Structure 1
Amino acid sequence: MIAITNLSYFLGDRALYDGASLHIKPKQKIGLIGLNGTGKSTLLRMINGEFQPDGGNISKAGDCTIGFLNQDLLSYQSDDSILSVAMQAFERQNQLQIQIDKILHDMEHNYTDALVDKLAKVQDEFDALDGYTIQSKAEAILEGLGFSTDDLHRPLRLFSGGWRMRVMLAKLLLQKPSLLMLDEPTNHLDLPSIQWVEKYVQSYEGAVIVVSHDRQFLDNTIDTTVEVSGGKLNYYAGNYSYYLEEKEERNEIQRGAYENQQAKIRQTERFIERFKAKATKSRQVQSRVKALDKMEVVDQVVDENAKVHFRFQFTTQPGRHVFQLEDASKAYGDKVILDSTNISMERGDKIALIGANGRGKSTVLRVVAGTEPIEGKRRLGHNVSFTFYAQHQLESLNVQHNLIEELKYANPNKTETELRTVLGCFLFSGDDVFKKIKVLSGGEKSRVALAKVLLSQANFLLLDEPTNHLDMQSVNILIQALQQYEGSYIVVSHDRYFVENIANKIWYIEDHKIKEYPGTYEEYEIWVEERGLQSAVSEKAVVSSAPPQVKSNPQPAASSNAQKSNGKPVSNEDAQKLKKVQKQIEELEASIENLEIKKTETETKLADPKIYNDNAALAELNFSYSDIKKKLEQSTETWENLMLEVDELAGK
């Protein structure tokens, strides 16, 4: 269908492609992968005819049609309804509909046999093109992508860029081109919509090329993986998981070939060095010199799977209870987000908050952070300190700082060597650390902001879509960092691979309440599927019973009394002790909270100049203040000892 032969394309002196070749077959589903900046989007634009190659050829079959979804479509606006915009895909049918309407209008004033015959011909063609079903098809696809029935007749310009992108995707899907090219299609989709697009692509009758950093989306939609690396297009006959296995096998073969060749080169060079001055050996020496010159050098394998070797620590240990909502309600006018919801999280909980867009996930994060007012009670636990990451916070980076200066601002106690280590974990090395923030790409800024979050020494993280704009390598680094992180966090994400690897509990919003599933995302999906729900995260069906306890060995929460964190069972005696100590901790935390309130009240009284006119009252207040401080210190020390005892009993 499309043949790419000896393709070359240069950006200045840098070759994005140099002698690259690829054949795209009908009905083939290709995942185009590679690090950011390797030229994936550029290749799609060359196939689409927007860019011209510097060398080689891209040939297409005469009947090949191309549909291209790219990020430029975010800026498209129109006063037409989204249904009308989507139905622009049916160009011929729309022309015929206009003709039918005109003929019917003319027949009202001039009814003739000629007009009747013309109408019959136009209607026959319209019917042959399924013209009478195009509106229902458009409605089905738009609703599959998350639009409500009421949304269909709203003007496109009223929707945000992400929702406009969905409309353009719907239009492309309705056109059914021979080759459908999707550049990061999941960036602006929620989980239900991603799963809907997956099923659509799986059954799509034409060929598809997908550029995506969503591993699970690729695994579920493609049958071929093409890696852009070193200016070439490397072909793998399988999905992304197959690619990973096959790539490792190829790398092993290449490592062996590289090491053998290097050994041969060293041996040859030693021979040349030893005998170059001997006339009797000149022929052999010259022969080996020529052999080295002609040798096709095997490249050393570059390990693209960066490992995080930095331990992200925090200085203050939180209490058992990290966060709690009691009878919390939140609404924007008539739109109810939460209604009398109760939820709590404990130390060590790694929570993924999932669900469809518009359910209020980001609102819940702001409620937890205390920046969104609610009806009801919001409580942070003892010694809990949190930090919040969201995409809009990239704007808070100081564009005049270099990377070292920006991280130093987040944690002044770290040395430059330690900061370089952190930046190295996030793929910034060498002189990169002295780049100004203002010259960084969106993905690079995201990595800097995430590094700042993990350096903040907060023991509770709130992360809103942290994988947006990150390539697969960067997502892998973030996964490793969060797996090593010893605190608690709540993450909002639509990346299922990411969620599966970082969460031990799932929160979802249903019936305006936050509900909890006590297991991993994979187990949650199985639980939902078993109950006959059509979508793992659509929350459209009513679940009549609470989630059962997980049977397949989920990651335990920190407060588990049944088994130790090292996997060994807790004895009955230790379990009783643990229960007793945890009760003491709860009582002590309440006492500490009261003492801190009294301490603050007493400090306020001592700050009042009038108290210094009454020596007796001042003396009594000073005595009371000293007593409160002493009790607070003793209580805090006891609390710390009890926390150590809990860790010991839990087998940490």
Structure 2
Amino acid sequence: MNGTGKSTLLKIINGDYQPSSGEVQKAKDCTIGFLNQDLLSYQSEDSILDVALEAFKDTLALQAEIDEVLKQMETDYSDEIINKLAKLQDRFEANEGYTIKAKAEEVLEGIGFQTADLKRPLKTFSGGWRMRVMLAKLLLEKPALLMLDEPTNHLDLPSIQWVENYLKSYEGAVVVVSHDQEFLDNCVSITVEVANGTLTSYSGNYSFFQEEKKERMEIQQNAYENQQQMIKQTERFIERFRAKATKSNQVQSRIKALDRLERVNEVVDDNISVNFKFKFSQKSGRDLVVLENVSKAYGDLVILKNSTARIERGDKIALIGANGKGKSTLLRIIDGTEPIEGKREHGYNVIKSFYAQHQLEALNVDNEILQEMQQAGSGKLDTELRNVLGCFLFTNEDVFKKIKVLSGGEKSRVALAKTLISEANFLLLDEPTNHLDMQSVNILIQALQQYEGTFITVSHDRHFIRGVANKIWYIENQQIKEYPGSYEEYVYWKSQQEDSAVPKVEVKTAAPKKKEVSPSDEHLWKKELKKKEQELAQIEEQVMAVALEKEVTEEAMALPENYESSEKLQVLNLSYEQLKKKEQDLNANWELLVEVISDLQDKLAGK
């Protein structure tokens, strides 16, 4: 649950906080990488690619040394300077310096950035996207201990799955604080519960933890009940024979035994079962929303193009997919608050209620929680409102807390409770599980399972989607696509679709017989060989031309009038980087052609 000290524990391990007692021991060579919510405020003028490349600071320092030596070599050709350059280049290559840019690009694009984004300054991105850059930098640093505090909060579903796959093969140790149950199931091998000021370890993932904890709780409850029975018997004995001198030794012995007794705590089950009583004043018609040939674009960014969809009474729809595909836009289109091209019709007797993160800001901060619920206009009595709030973990005096003192997760629970007590027969829920802990997510799942109306929800939480959805929507090729089944069925169907798209390769186990070369085959191979050799000669000429251009550019960069002008130097640097990229591409093509020519020569030689 939130507030039990998980983030505090990570900060103690990282050295940000000092423990009140005890000590934290670390290996001397233990490097720690810590992703936490404080990084949301980090700003930089550098591009996100350059920020991610800061993970390779030692390699970048080598590159700077190499550049400096190359400048010296313009006037100094001594053996000493040449040997120095050779050693630096060997170290640079050992550090895989030529691949760091490709690695950084791979990780950034894996967690959701487009190639065109990589040159944009970090400061131009929102806090959530900046957090992704910090995550990319940490993953590239590969510390011995990687600590991630709620890493999935700012990731969409494809990015979450990418990070899962990355962490599975991570060589160091990983500590994750997360409320994403499926993410934990897929990433962790040990689960540690923080509760009542203690740490309890379970040797398995989150699902294993749930089963094992249930068994431990049963054992503990049995031990508690047995001990309580023994205590009552002992207390009756003491009370009965306290006044008898002949039993005084036995009475005193039992009193001391009770004083020394280590008490077993009664089990407190935090798996709350809730029972919501939803009330509709009106039942909706069969069709709640019909979209026909709907188009929506923001400038050049096309979200939908001539797309058609229908929401019917009883649909429980999960709208999934990567960020930037237009899921929240589609919710607003369905709500009727987003202008569109095409036809949008709302059905008969449709009463909507829209939950989104901005509604947290709409809460009256000076209200108490119960007041806020009273002003929602549901007409429910205070006892009913308090029962609903109890389901959302606001019990007893908690209902009189001011909204202004609540955490983000607590405000989310209040806003969700307000949404659910309305008489709406159609709910639109945009990321309702954001800021909720596992217990609160499970409460919301139970509430929506009991909801007899219709809803559509945008979510990246697979555990939540599995628990509530009977249809899956996603946006693909600017069209609204629908899978008419549960998320489990959708995942299986999607995997089958992807498998069928991969061409099947016929595997032959027996060694092929040596094939006789026909004169026609030999003629074709010779013709192809001549063509490839001509292409190879052309590429070799291009490589020499690019090398000459690079030398000219390097000489220009060394001129005082250029390196003293930042604008001129920037242009020359850009030109030089483009030439290096062109040279790399030409060398790659050269290697491919050499392999093809070698194969053709082998065929002609009868190998």
TM-score (norm: length of structure 2) = 0.81
Alignment match, 1:303: 269
Partner of 2:214: 248
Could you tell me how far apart the structure 2 residues matched to 1:343 and 1:362 are? 16
Pick the aligned partner of 2:101 from 115, 135, 144.
Answer: 135
For structure 1, the residue ranges without an aligned partner over 5 or more in a row are 1-34, 535-540, 543-652
Equivalent residue for 1:268, pick from 216, 229, 234 = 234
1:335 matched to 2:335? The reply is: no
Q: Shift of residue 38 of structure 1?
A: 0.9
Which position in structure 1 is the counterpart of 2:292? 326
**Take 2:280 and 2:13, find their aligned partners in 1: how far apart are those partners?**
50
- 1:484 is aligned, of 437, 443, 450, to 450
1:134 aligned partner, one-letter code: I
Instruction: Give the match's secondary structure for 1:341.
Output: strand
Give the AA of the match of 2:413.
R
TM-score, normalised via structure 1 length: 0.76
Counterparts of 2:118 and 2:498, CA distance in 1: 28
2:112 aligned counterpart, secondary structure: coil
Does the Cα contact within 8 Å between 1:76 and 1:164 map onto a contact in 2? yes
Number of residues of Structure 1 aligned to a counterpart in Structure 2: 502
The residue that corresponds to 1:648 in the other structure is none
The residue number in structure 2 matching 1:194 is: 160
- Cα distance in 2 for partners of 1:158, 1:412 equals 42
Deviation at 1:121, TM superposition (A): 1.1
Establish whether residue 445 from structure 1 lines up as the match of residue 415 from structure 2.
no
Residues 79 and 157 in structure 1, CA contact (< 8 A), matched pair in contact too: yes
Choose from 42, 51, 65 the match for 1:76.
Answer: 42
Q: CA RMSD in A?
A: 1.3
C-alpha separation in 1, matches of 2:41 and 2:332: 28
- 1:514 pairs with 2:483: no
Q: Which amino acid aligns with 1:140?
A: E
The answer as to 2:490 corresponding to 1:524 is yes
Please give the alpha-carbon distance, in whole angstroms, between the structure 2 residues aligned to 1:486 and 1:455.
13
| Aligned positions of 1:156-175 closer than 5 A | 156-175=122-141
* Deviation sequence 1:347-380 (CA, Å, 0-9, x none): 0000000000000000001111111100111111
- State the Cα distance separating 1:412 from its structure 2 match: 4.6
Deviates further, 54-63 or 457-466: 54-63
Could you list the per-position Cα deviations for residues 371-398 of structure 1 after superposition, in whole angstroms to 9, with x for gaps in the alignment?
A: 1100111111100000110111100001
- The farther-off stretch of 110-119 and 437-446 is 110-119
Q: In structure 2, what is the Cα distance between the partners aligned to 1:313 and 1:486? A: 9
Aligned to 1:496: 462
Q: 2:76 and 2:253 mapped to 1: Cα distance?
A: 96
Matched, 1:397 2:363: yes
Question: How many Å separate the matches in 2 of 1:200 and 1:239?
Answer: 17
CA displacement, residues 378-428 of structure 1 (integer Å, 9 cap, x when unaligned): 111100000110111100001111111111111351111111100000000
Residue from 460, 464, 471 that aligns with 1:505 = 471
The letter for the 2-side match of 1:103 is V
Q: Pick from 25, 32, 44: which aligns with 1:59?
A: 25
Q: Which position in structure 2 is the counterpart of 1:554?
A: none
Kept in 2: contact 1:337–1:360 (CA 8 A): yes
Matched letter for residue 282 of structure 1: S
1:47-102 CA deviation, whole Å, 9 max, x = no partner? 11111111112111111111111111111111111110000000110001011111
Between the aligned partners of 1:426 and 1:462, the Cα distance in structure 2 is 19
Partner of 1:365: 331
- Conserved 8 A contact 2:378-2:421: no
Residue 26 of structure 1 corresponds to which residue in structure 2?
A: none
Map of 2:15 onto structure 1: 49
Per-residue CA deviation, residues 309-347 of structure 1 (Å, 9 max, x unaligned), is: 222222211111111101111000010001011000110
1:140-289 matched pairs, under 5 angstroms: 140-289=106-255
Q: Do the aligned partners of 2:428 and 2:457 also contact (CA within 8 Å) in 1? A: yes
CA–CA distance in structure 1, aligned partners of residues 308 and 168 of structure 2: 40
Distance in 2 separating the partners of 1:326 and 1:310: 35
Cα displacement (A) at 1:285: 1.9
1:352 correspondence with 2:318:
yes
Task: For 1:399 and 1:371, locate their aligned partners in 2 and report how far apart those are by CA, in whole Å.
Answer: 26
Q: Tell whether the 8 Å contact from 1:313 to 1:486 is kept in structure 2 after alignment.
A: no
Give CA deviations for 1:464-523 in whole Å, capped at 9, x if unaligned.
000011000000000000000110000000000100110000000011011100011111
1:533–1:405 CA distance, 2 compared to 1 (3 A): farther
For the residues of structure 2 that align with 1:354 and 1:113, how far apart are their CA atoms?
Answer: 62
Q: Secondary structure at the match of 1:457?
A: coil
How far the C-alpha of 1:281 sits from its partner, in A, is 2.4
- Secondary structure at the counterpart of residue 274 of structure 2: coil
The answer to whether the 8 Å contact 1:350/1:489 transfers is yes
Shift of 1:271: 1.8
Partner of 2:380: 414
The letter for the 2-side match of 1:170 is A
- Shift in Å, 1:275: 2.2
Q: CA deviation at 1:289?
A: 1.4
- The secondary structure found in structure 2 opposite 1:467 is coil
Q: Deviations over 1:531-553 (max 9, x none)?
A: 1179xxxxxx99xxxxxxxxxxx
**Counterparts of 1:576-595 in structure 2 under 5 Å?**
none
Secondary structure (helix, strand or coil) at the match of 1:108 reads: coil
Q: Whole-Å Cα distance in 2 between the matches of residues 465 and 334 of structure 1?
A: 26
- Aligned residue number for residue 425 of structure 1: 391
Q: Is the 8 A contact 1:313 1:485 kept in 2?
A: no
CA contact (8 A) 1:100 1:122 kept: yes
Instruction: In structure 2, list runs of 5 or more residues that go unmatched.
Output: 503-607
User: Any conservation in 2 of the 1:426–1:451 contact (CA below 8 Å)?
Assistant: yes
Q: What secondary structure does 2:498 align onto?
A: coil
**Residue 280 of structure 1: CA displacement?**
2.7
CA offsets 1:122-152 (integer angstroms, 9 cap, x no match)? 1111011111111111111111111111111
Q: Tell me which protein shows more strand as a share of its residues.
A: 1
Give the distance between the partners of 2:42 and 2:278, measured in 1 at CA: 43
Instruction: Give a deviation string over 1:4-38, Cα, whole Å, max 9, x none.
Output: xxxxxxxxxxxxxxxxxxxxxxxxxxxxxxx1111
Q: Is contact 1:312-1:481 (8 Å) kept?
A: no
Distance in 1 between residues matched to 2:74 and 2:455, nearest whole Å: 69
Question: Residue 106 in 1 paired to residue 78 in 2?
Answer: no
Amino acid at match of 2:60: N
**Partner of 1:40 in structure 2?**
6
- Pairing 1:548-559 to 2, within 5 Å after superposition: none
Equivalent position SS for 1:515: strand
Q: More deviation in 271-280 or 161-170?
A: 271-280
CA distance in 2, matches of 1:86, 1:312: 49
Contact 2:32/2:143 (<8 A) preserved: yes
Structure 2 distance, partners of 1:278, 1:373, is 90
Q: Per-residue CA shift, 1:148-193, capped at 9, x if unaligned?
A: 1111111111111111111111110111111100100000000000
Name the CA distance, whole Å, in 2 between partners of 1:304 and 1:411: 31
Equivalent runs, 1:539-578 vs 2, <5 Å: none
Question: Is the Cα–Cα contact under 8 Å of residues 341 and 512 in structure 1 kept in the other structure?
Answer: yes
Residue identity in the other structure for 2:482: E
* Whole-Å separation in 1 of the counterparts to 2:396 and 2:236: 34
